[in-house]
Amino acid sequence: MIIGVAGRNGAGKGELVSFLEARSFTALSLSDAIRAELAAQGLEESRERMIETGQAMRRRAGPGALAQSLAKQLLPDRNYAIDSIRHPVEVEILRAHAEATGHVFQLVWVDAKLETRFDRMVARGRPGDPETIEDLEALEARERGSDDPNAQQLDAVEAEADYRLANDASLEAFQEAIQAWVRKNLSFARPDWDDYFMGIARVVASRSNCVKRKVAAVVTLEKRIISTGYNGTPRGTTNCNEGGCPRCNDLAPGGTRLDECLCSHAEENAITQAAYHGVSLKGGSIYTTFSPCLQCTKMIINAGLVEVVYQSDYPLGETSLSLLAEAGIEARQIGGQGAGAPIGAPARSK
């Protein structure tokens, strides 16, 4: 999950981030890039300098510059709590990144009364904090919104919030409110088995040495992976990307010079790899990034596989799909046009 944290000065954003960090979230802040910029210029940190430097960085690289820089650090297998979101474009970038990486993004707005926030700022004694309530109001008027698209736009950020947490009482009461919110609202979705195995197939495809197309296949049995394969030249021969296959290296048009192609297909390699290690494929499913060619289809049938799940259509694959149906083998396409639609036999429950 990616939890974006926003709010006004002294509201308790840091307390929420610390609470999540103590529960295995990785804590980050969009302000870290500004602090690094100040350090590079040899300047001491102050609120005014942070605001001015942040605006300068947005002018140079766009209003989403800070979020774009931080998004590059995010890994798909971690939960994050991200502080100091101050512009709606930053929210937009983090939401889009979460969607692209399989995260769930939620923006939480932390709020408290003006007097409460001022008292907290006085108590913490941070350099550059306002010395009077009037100073705080003047500062926040600048942060709430501006005609300058690169300035802070906190009112617009607040409007994007998925949840609001009030923090006008004690720290203990705030932590109890956070805990209640966590129990109620933090959730995530896992990929189903089809997406899981096809995702692994796409990673396997990255090992392909074919210069024309990277394809991979994963064979499963009872939700266990028992064999994988990717396309490329045979074991012990020169890799295709090193000049091993004359047809591929000449970039021959599709469907031509097939008698010169030295590359084995992904499904072929997954099946022969299992045979090499003495593993039976009978009753299994094969996940492949392209529907199989005719040669691989015949191997799939004779190997005893009972299901083919594929992502994209092979250019010459219509005969193969017809043959699979005749042999009583289920074929399903996922992740594209007609995703999940059965071809031939009805889909089995996964």
Sequential DSSP letters for 180-236: HHHHHH-------HHHHHHHHHHHHHTT---SS---EEEEEETTEEEEEEE-BSPTT
Cα separation of 228 and 217, whole Å? Answer: 6
| Strands (DSSP E) found in the chain | 2-7, 26-29, 80-83, 105-111, 163-166, 216-221, 224-230, 285-290, 307-312, 330-333, 341-343
What dihedral do alpha carbons 245, 251, 255, 256 form, nearest 10°? -80
CA atoms 25, 150, 138, 157: torsion sign: negative
Q: Are 87 and 152 in contact (CB under 8 A)?
A: yes
Clarify whether 143 is annotated catalytic.
no
Pairing of strands 224-230, 216-221: antiparallel
- Catalytic residue among 15, 90, 143, 267, which? 267
Q: In whole angstroms, give the CA distance from residue 350 to residue 337.
A: 20
Per-residue DSSP letters for 249-289? HTTPPTTSSGGG--PBPHHHHHHHHHHHTT---TT-EEEEE
Largest Cα–Cα distance in the chain? 83
d(CA 90, CA 66): 7
Catalytic residues: 267
